[in-house]
Amino acid sequence: MKIRAIFPFLFGFLFACSSTPTAPVPPPGVLFVARDSIAKETASLFPESFSDTRTIRVRFASNRDQESTSLGTSLVFGETTVTVPDTHPVGTIGQGFIRGETKTLALSELKSSLSEKPQWGSLIFVHGFNVDFTEALFRTAQIAYDLKFQGTVLLLSWPAGKTGGFFEKNLINRTYESNQRNALASIDAFFQIFQELSGLPLPRQLIIHSMGHQVALPALLKLSPALERPFIQELVLNAPDFDPEEFGTSIPALKKIANRITLYCSQKDNALLASKAFNGKKRLGACIRHEGVDVVNVSEVDDPGLTGLGHGYYSSRPLLTDLAQVFLGLSPEQRLFIRKSTGAGAENYFLRR
């Protein structure tokens, strides 16, 4: 029994939240047969437990100068290792994370290395605004570790450099403007990367955060007309700092790229409120419902309070718990800790506290 078929079966009977409410009641004993099958399948699904400190091998493709905040002169491909301590709090990076030696790869070597675990596929991460290269590597490794992801891991990094403290008004405007300019200048490079990845016969999960959408989505849209079938299994949009009107018109093209689109949003995201002031319009990550997209509001589990940004939930325990179920192929109605939005809300679902 395939694992993506088993999990909907299990959750449907255990938690009575199947998207098909008229499904017949299983005969006595069926649940236990399913449970035994799931136990066997899970053993093969997670052969490596990630229960101890672990070294994650992170491949990367980047157009940034890794020694500064500037655009590089060309695309660079490579790999490094990141040691993730088993004592780190879920969703965090910092003390105990160790970056190993970096090795430059040719494009052909990168593509070959991404094919090393074809049964698991690849987890691809695009970071957001104001993230240096080492932090991006650490974040990619943290997400892979906390998800116990068994396949290959790839970071797509662009020049999102820091120029000063976030709360200093002049500096945030200057940093945001320079990051946005670099994002625009990185679209063609990301198009080249996605074009190469689209030719690999592997399942892929693509996670994008914040301003990274201003790089990744236009690059994907440039590729869309040439695709005969989707090359991304799960497209996950976290706190997207992106024009909602432009996104709405792009959904048919994005559907050619990804089998499913999940958008995590929050109306309490203070970073997106700052982006709204800068750009003069509401941002997609502030929760706007779109047909054909699973829009999940996370504000109940990520309240920034008086001083927080409410923008970093993409790597947190509640969201990763849901994301693991997304990667297993479960619909929102079948996933734990999800409830439907009532009325004419700006979202389809809420992630419950």
* SS3 per-residue string spanning 56-67: EEEEEEEEECCC
Query: Does residue 99 sit in the same domain as residue 132?
Result: yes
Does one domain contain both 124 and 199? Answer: yes
| Residues with pLDDT less than 50, the chain | 1-20, 165-170, 305-307
Q: What angle do CA 43, 46, 49 make, to 5 degrees?
A: 110
Residues 40 and 52 in one domain: no
pLDDT of the residue at 16: 36
273 to 146, 160, 175, 267: CA distances (angstroms): 29, 19, 16, 9
pLDDT for res 20: 46
Q: Which residues pair with 83 in a beta bridge?
A: 55, 98
The count of structural domains within the chain is 2
pLDDT of 30 reads 57
The two three-digit tokens of residue 202, written as one number: 């592997």
CB-based burial label for 342 (10 Å; 0-12, 13-18, 19+): exposed
Alpha-carbon distance of 248 to 17, in angstroms, equals 29
Q: Which residues span the domain enclosing 11?
A: 1-45
Tell whether 26 and 66 lie within a shared domain. Answer: no
pTM: 0.86
User: Mutual orientation of helices 187-197 and 169-185 as an angle, nearest 10°?
Assistant: 50
Specify whether 247 is located in the same domain as 201: yes
Output the pLDDT for position 254. Answer: 96
- CA-to-CA separations, 101 to 78, 96, 98, in angstroms, rounded: 11, 16, 10
Shared-domain flag, residues 246 and 329: yes
Confidence at residue 298, expressed as pLDDT on a 0 to 100 scale: 93
Do both 298 and 341 map to the same domain?
Answer: yes
Q: CA-to-CA distance for 57 and 50, rounded, in angstroms? A: 13
Spacing of C-alpha 14 from chain mean position: 28
Q: Of 45, 61, 79, which one is at a domain's C-terminal end?
A: 45
pLDDT at 11: 38
Examine the domain organization and report whether 15 and 113 are in the same domain: no
What is the reported pLDDT for 196?
A: 95
32 shares a domain with 71: no
CA 194 to chain centre: 15
Q: What CATH number does the domain containing 195 carry?
A: 3.40.50
Q: Are residues 23 and 90 in the same domain?
A: no
Scanning the structure block, which residue is given the tokens 């938690």? 15
**Are 174 and 26 found together in one domain?**
no
Task: Supply the pLDDT for residue 141.
Answer: 97
Residues 5 and 69 in one domain: no
